[in-house]
Amino acid sequence: MEQLISNITIAIVLFPLLGALVAGLLGKKMGCTWSHRATIFYVFISFVLSLYLAKLVFIEHIPTFNLVVYHWGISGGVGFDVGFLIDQLSVLMLLVVTFVSLLVHIYSIGYMQGDPGYQRFFSYVSFFTFAMLALVTANNFLQLFFGWEGVGVASYLLIGFWFNKDSATAGSLKAFIVNRVGDFGFLLGIAAILATYHSIDYSAVFAQVDTTLSQTITVIPQHPWSVITLISLLLFVGAMGKSAQIPLHVWLPESMEGPTPISALIHAATMVTAGIYMIARMSPLYQHSPTALSVILVIGASGALFTGLIAIVQNDIKRVIAYSTLSQLGYMVAALGASAYTAAIFHLSTHACFKALLFLGAGSVILACHHEQDMRKMGGLWKLMPITYLTYLLGSLALCALPPFSGFFSKDAIIDAVHQTTIPGAHYAYFCVLTGSFVTAFYTFRSLFMTFHQTPRYDTAHLHPHESPWVVWLPLVLLAIPSVLLGAWLVKPLLFDTPPLLAQSVVPHLMESPQTAWSLMEESIHSPAFWLVISGIFSAWLCYIAFPALPKFFVRVLSLPYFILIKKYGFDDFNRVVFVDGSKSLAQSFSHTGDQVVIDNFFVNGSGRAVVFLAKLGRKLQSGLIYHYSLLMAIGLIAFLILILWPLKG
């Protein structure tokens, strides 16, 4: 059985890499059709094998497998291996990644048709999938870091795919640099783990955690820190970069410059969920650091509310969904801070489906509107694009967390867990995630009403929107199904069954009173979150359907809050002034002072001037006049005699 699991896992991980190599190296010879066929085929095989692995793990309940495939090297007594950890968490992530990636591949056939970089696009997407699969199946920190950096490189290539656009290259560079900030902290965390536990294997590290509970390290003189807290916070810095948490969230909206299928892949199932997965996987460490959990809870809850507020004032349909992703990632991080690791992974799974659905639905609209993304130039599309409208509506209801849609079960579990926790910052966090329910419903239905309802605001003489081809709407339909049903299907096995997905998960109220999906929906009528969602939808209807003049009125009355939201709380301006402009000024200073003044002027030109000066001085000694030479000989003789006779004076 172990050899079978090992072979299946290797195939799941490597098949997308094979597709990337085929499309990348042979794409020009194979042509567009065979390039997308090859990559889709290999990702499909990975998805089928993931389904088989899920059958073994979830239905036949095979034990956890910690497999070492290859011994890469040994240094200082520490082994560096290539291996896989196959358990419920990794298999669930395999299903999510391969399912969404497969649909994105299919969708891209229609969306990227006619693009000159068609084969290159499919190669990049398959490589992205490979890197994410390597990340979620890793059984050690070395392989985790390999996959971690792999998705970072792939995202850089995909966000800047249209490299002739200045905004695309700027967005890809911003994503790459901001993630390097987070990755630096992540790498320091891995180094601290290696120094403390003398191993980078998950099982070996977790087995030693209890022995280091009282161990401290002095980072600031006279202020010792718990080693576990330091490691947890450093790892969380990495998660802040990958999962776009405040203040390292600024890269994610800029990544909208890439093709829409990439927005769905990056923001739904892969890159941004890597940090969530990593913290859940590291739960044996985090459970012993209340300080780290409190920091995670506050940062996650803040992102859940405040990035959601920014979505209210966005007019680009993709940016609305991007800020929605930031908000939903904040919910997941808040769940991790509340020790509700299973609830976070539950929301990760449901969010992957309905957020991919919304991004791909937005892409369908953008195609119909000749790549127009401004919602103020849309309207009245529901009759012209009925399939896109219906699927977008279902995704919106799931995002709003209305029962019985999938987002309700996972998001309600997070709100309940945050309400139950007692660590510092819990009351503030509960206020944020609860208020965020209203905000989410408002901006979601604002985008729905502006895009599909109201009177058409596009040029009807030149633009004739119509439903997208089947390769575009078929993935929407397939994603709409789990967006409706997945929550009710997974709520019992993920939250109530024993053993749970993660043994460390703590959802106190839920665990004490196991319930069914139906009973949770019945109880939701008494939940404040439910009525806040209803209020948000109703408020959006008032502002954008019943009384369309209300938004302009609120902009005038609430001009200061509106200005703050338009400026995104100043994060982008601060980064531009301090980091971008500051870095440029520092670089120019180094260039002028260090390079031109010190190196060029002093060392290079200065040494040349010194040689010229000495040469001129030496040239004066060779005058050709005999009396000059006689004088110099007399002076030399006198100096020589003084040097000899001076010691004899005493």
Does residue 118 surpass a pLDDT of 70? yes
Q: What are the tokens at 607?
A: 């040494």
Cβ partners under 8 Å of residue 150, min gap 6: 127, 130, 131, 132, 134, 135
Per-residue pLDDT at 510: 57
Cα 63 to Cα 621: distance, rounded to the nearest angstrom? 92
Q: Encoding tokens for residue 430? A: 């509960």
| pTM (2 d.p.) | 0.88
471 touches 107 (CB < 8 A)? yes
The string of pLDDT tens digits covering residues 599-613 is 888 888 888 888 888
Instruction: Name which of 288-302, 350-364, 387-401, 516-530 the model is least confident about.
Output: 516-530
The region of weakest confidence among 124-138, 382-396, 451-465 is: 451-465
Query: Would you say residue 508 has pLDDT above 70?
Result: no
Alpha helices in 250-289 (DSSP H): 251-254, 260-264, 274-281, 283-286
Query: For position 470, what pLDDT does the model report?
Result: 86
State how far the alpha carbon of 427 is from the alpha carbons of 236, 328, 412, 422, 506, in Å. Answer: 22, 19, 17, 8, 18
Query: What does the pLDDT read at residue 305?
Result: 94
Q: 87, 100, 93: which is closest to 58 by C-alpha?
A: 87
Q: Using one digit for the tens of pLDDT, what is the confidence trace for 131-180?
A: 999 999 999 999 999 999 998 888 888 888 888 888 888 888 888 888 88
CA separation for the pair 615, 638 (Å, rounded) = 26
Q: Cα separation of 317 and 530, whole Å?
A: 25
Q: pLDDT tens digits, residue range 393-412?
A: 999 999 999 999 999 999 99
β-pair partners for 374: 316
The mean pLDDT of 503-513, rounded to a whole number, is 58
Q: Which pLDDT value is given to residue 63? A: 86
Question: In angstroms, rounded to a whole number, what is the distance separating the alpha carbons of residues 102 and 206?
Answer: 34
- Read off the pLDDT of each residue in 181-191 and give the average, rounded to a whole number: 91
Instruction: Determine what percent of the chain is predicted with pLDDT higher than 90.
Output: 40
Q: What is the model's pLDDT at position 531?
A: 93
DSSP code at position 138? B
How far is Cα 647 from Cα 650, in angstroms, rounded to an integer? 7
pLDDT category at 588 given cuts 50, 70, 90 is: confident
pLDDT above 90 for 110: no
Residue with tokens 């082994």, as numbered in its chain = 79
**CA pair distance 39, 20, nearest whole angstrom:** 7
Of residues 263, 261, 260, the one with CA closest to residue 252? 263
pLDDT at 213: 83
User: 32-36, 78-82, 508-512: lowest mean pLDDT where?
Assistant: 508-512
